[in-house]
Chains A and B, each alone.
Chain A
């Protein structure tokens, strides 16, 4: 399983990278982590005319925690984000979800932004971005634009990146104080793509009432499925919130498909069960944060 030939470009800075991308247009693919792309090349399921290797564009290797969010540059590896204490302090969900991305060795090379751009319906980080109402910044020789998570994931393995564009960063918005989060997924083997996974965010007001609750699910739709849990638990006191009902709401909201690993019915069931469990956990953390 050897890759087909391709034109290889290795720009050393962002300007060069954008110039090359403009040149190769739709025939080119960006190589960052390569953990999703190279298997496709090895299996000859993809044969781009040109590969633009951005691993020298060091200016993109950063993780910045600012007021309001965590900005992850295109060359930040999953392992970097997993280890970043400032990012964890600001948004614990980032580490919790990243820990579920494949195996440690894959995380050493694969990038958070790359995973988001790749938009695999079973990938964790696109769902985390969606849950936290994050954005992706794209650059090209024509300038920059920022796309919200809601608009970025177009379909399975399809994101809103135009020919000649490079996703230079993804920004995860820091949730408001009084928020707790959780990530739960069930996969066949540890490290596999999840049969179903869910990230839940619960925000409580000073009186411990549910001000916001939402879930982002993976492996149950062509893109991350965001479900607002307000109808089930909104406004309730955290001790009286019916998390099972939140699960039921999610179960009713998703339309997964069958595949060789699980049936649609089972995925739907899992979506409900995992949401309820994750929501309970998120609520506990939210409670602790309010009290702190």
Chain B
């Protein structure tokens, strides 16, 4: 099987990597690029733990081949930090609201919510629940994740 040289801009930094065509983006990020923040829960697109932003749009990295997104801008949970390296607004909201327990599903929620709030800065509670409706969490029962969405919206509003 052939190997391909691809370029991905990950969290603002251009990375070059050589991968076989079948290398899933999730594995490329985690093992070839050392960004282990993105997690793998099912490898069939249902749980959402692997969700990253591809050109700003949430997608399941376990359902993408790295070669297929050659040239794209990828944002992972690591890229959701604040410019000074501290917690970004969505990350801070999760801590404020106890929106995580084991933390395994959390990166997928954080990227999804980051994109969502960029496009929908003032969600209602119902909209917030719907926004997180495609990600599974086994620990929290979602209650505090919904609260985290609303809290993050508040933080972003107050920061701007």
Tell me whether B68 and A103 are in contact (CB under 8 A): no
Bound complex: CA A31 to CA B68 (Å): 9
Contact partner of A108 among B1, B20, B44, B57, CB < 8 A? B57
A42 CB contact (under 8 Å) in B44, B48, B67, B68: B44
Chain B contact residue count (CB 8 A cutoff): 28
Give Cα distance in the complex from A224 to B43, angstroms. 28
Whether, in the assembled complex, B121 has its beta carbon less than 8 Å from a beta carbon of chain A, the answer is: no
B60's contact among A31, A41, A55, A105, by CB below 8 Å, is which? A105
User: Distance (Å) between the CB of B38 and the closest chain A CB?
Assistant: 14
Q: Is B51 an interface residue (CB 8 A)?
A: yes
Check: B24 CB closer than 8 A to any chain A CB.
yes
Are A38 and B64 also in contact (CB < 8 A) when A1-B43, A105-B59, A105-B112 are? yes
**Overall SS of chain B's interface:** mixed
The number of residues on chain A lying at the interface, defined by a beta carbon within 8 Å of a beta carbon of chain B, is 30
Q: Known interface pairs A38-B45, A104-B58, A105-B58. Does A6 touch B64 (Cβ–Cβ under 8 Å)? A: no
B residues neighboring A (CB under 8 Å): 1-2, 4, 20-22, 24, 27, 43-45, 48, 51, 54, 57-60, 62-65, 67-68, 112, 131, 133-134
Q: Write 30 A-B pairs (CB below 8 A) sorted by A numbering.
A: A1-B43, A1-B44, A2-B27, A5-B21, A7-B1, A7-B2, A7-B21, A8-B2, A8-B65, A34-B64, A34-B65, A35-B45, A38-B65, A39-B43, A39-B44, A42-B62, A42-B63, A53-B65, A55-B68, A79-B57, A102-B134, A104-B58, A105-B51, A105-B58, A105-B59, A105-B60, A106-B134, A109-B59, A109-B63, A191-B133
Given A1-B43, A38-B63, A38-B64; 10 other pairs, CB 8 A cutoff: A3-B22, A6-B21, A39-B63, A53-B65, A103-B48, A104-B134, A105-B58, A106-B60, A108-B58, A190-B133
Interface residues of A (CB under 8 A from B): 1-8, 10, 31, 34-35, 38-39, 41-43, 51, 53, 55, 79, 102-106, 108-109, 190-191
